[in-house]
């Protein structure tokens, strides 16, 4: 019997040494009584929920490692940094929402956010003053460039100082789309910032830039499908790689800058269309009826591929396109010669290639 008891003691000790739960205790105003509070992971999956009772709510659970969840109460969305054994308080009784964990990751992020808010307020006040003095928006933007950069510096410093915890990764996710336009630059910072691959915004941007890398200048075209004007299936490969230069314009009927380029494209179509050259419209992010109406309104006669939003291919994603118009020239063999063509530069470039 003594031997069995001695064997049981280490097992009990081991059982008591597992990771403790994290806890979140929150308080709200009475208007949220009976409302549901959600905890959502970075993929958008709800992993826990509770109801507000007596203006309070509570969560408890375990995570495998440092994690970032979003706490949602109606329209309020709050990032919460989780670790096992950490006790978090959330005060939703007034804005801004205060999330604290006795000097932990949530307090670190709150300090950064407070600095950003102070800087943003000063920046907005300065910009408004300049507008009131009669400056144009362009002049105001030029005047506050250094202030904007100082604002980004707060984030960058916060990311660097927290590169070994998930706060740094979360800040990287906030900055990623603005700061990193190449796969090489993003990969470089991701190697420095731990947990970067756990942040959806970072992973999504990397996937986007990876596709952009495969369709940069000098690469062979990537095929996609859509519909022609009659509603029949049409592919990019029906036009590109067939022995002629193809100037492809990714556009939409609601896009002002797209419409500004249409006269230039019509001019090139009328001047050069033939055995060696053609203009091709690729309509994206649009509604079919508005797309067809725009063809008549703008006097567009060159071929079109309409790519439905719910189609099997996402043309803009395949080509790493964030904004339109995106006009690119394909060589007769299908190689991408030039992207981001616009205006007179586009007309001169096409004319030079066709010489």
List per-residue pLDDT tens for the chain, 355 residues long.
434 333 333 443 344 445 589 999 999 999 999 999 999 998 889 999 999 999 999 999 999 899 999 999 999 999 999 999 999 999 999 878 899 999 999 999 999 999 999 999 999 999 999 999 999 888 988 999 999 999 999 999 999 999 999 999 999 999 888 888 888 999 999 999 999 989 999 998 998 888 888 999 999 999 999 999 999 999 999 999 999 999 999 999 999 999 999 999 999 999 999 999 999 999 999 999 999 999 999 999 999 999 998 766 689 989 989 899 999 999 999 999 999 999 999 999 999 999 8
Structure tokens at 157: 């410093």
Does residue 10 fall inside a structural domain? no
Does residue 288 fall inside a structural domain? yes
| Domain limits for position 151 | 107-214
Residue 208: predicted pLDDT: 87
Q: Is the dihedral of CA 269, 273, 277, 278 positive or negative?
A: positive
| 233 and 203 inside one domain | no
| 121 and 68 inside one domain | no
56-61: strand order across its sheet = 56-61, 22-27, 87-91, 98-100
Q: Of 39, 64, 96, which one is at a domain's C-terminal end?
A: 96
| 230 and 333 inside one domain | yes
Residue 161: predicted pLDDT: 96
Under DSSP, the state recorded for 32 is: G
Q: Which residues are catalytic?
A: 255, 258
Does residue 15 fall inside a structural domain? no
For residue 50, count other CB atoms closer than 10 A to its CB.
Answer: 16
Q: Please state the domain count of the chain.
A: 3
| 174 and 122 inside one domain | yes
Does residue 295 fall inside a structural domain? yes
Does residue 4 fall inside a structural domain? no
Residue 290: predicted pLDDT: 96
Residue with tokens 């990969």: 187
- pTM score, two decimals? 0.73
CATH number at residue 309: 3.40.30.10
Q: Of 59, 77, 96, which one is at a domain's C-terminal end?
A: 96
**Cα 351–chain centre separation:** 36
Does residue 329 fall inside a structural domain? yes
Q: Of 181, 214, 247, which one is at a domain's C-terminal end?
A: 214
């Amino acid at each position: 019997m003594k031997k069995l008891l001695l064997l049981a003691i280490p097992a009990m000790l081991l059982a008591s040494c597992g990771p403790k739960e994290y806890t979140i205790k929150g308080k709200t105003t009475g208007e949220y009584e009976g409302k549901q509070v959600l905890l959502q992971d970075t993929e958008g999956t709800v992993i826990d929920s509770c109801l507000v009772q007596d203006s309070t709510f509570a969560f408890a659970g375990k995570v495998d490692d440092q994690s970032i969840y979003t706490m949602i109460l109606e329209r309020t969305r709050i990032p919460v940094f989780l670790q096992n054994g950490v006790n978090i308080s959330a005060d939703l009784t007034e804005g801004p929402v205060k999330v604290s964990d006795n000097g932990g990751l949530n307090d670190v992020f709150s300090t950064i956010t407070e600095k950003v808010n102070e800087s943003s307020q000063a920046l907005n006040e300065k910009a408004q003053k300049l507008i009131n003095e009669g400056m144009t928006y362009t002049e105001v933007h030029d005047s506050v460039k250094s202030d904007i950069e100082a604002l980004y510096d707060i984030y960058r410093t916060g990311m660097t100082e927290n590169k070994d915890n998930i706060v740094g990764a979360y800040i990287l996710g906030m900055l990623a789309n603005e700061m990193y336009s190449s796969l090489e630059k993003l990969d470089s910072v991701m190697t420095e910032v731990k947990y970067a691959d756990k942040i959806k915004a970072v992973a999504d941007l990397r996937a986007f830039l990876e596709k952009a890398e495969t369709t940069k200048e000098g690469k062979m075209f990537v095929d996609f499908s859509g519909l022609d004007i009659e509603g029949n299936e049409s592919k990019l490969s029906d036009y590109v790689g067939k022995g002629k230069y193809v100037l492809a314009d990714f556009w939409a009927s609601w896009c002002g800058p797209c419409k500004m380029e249409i006269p230039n494209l019509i001019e090139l179509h009328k001047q050069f269309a033939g055995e060696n050259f053609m203009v091709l419209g690729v309509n994206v992010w649009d509604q079919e009826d508005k797309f067809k109406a725009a063809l008549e309104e703008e006097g567009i006669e060159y071929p079109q591929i309409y790519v439905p939003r719910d189609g099997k291919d996402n043309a803009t994603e395949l080509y790493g396109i964030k904004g339109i118009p995106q006009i690119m020239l394909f060589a007769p063999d299908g190689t991408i010669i030039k992207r981001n063509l616009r205006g007179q530069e586009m007309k001169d470039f096409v004319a030079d290639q066709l010489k």
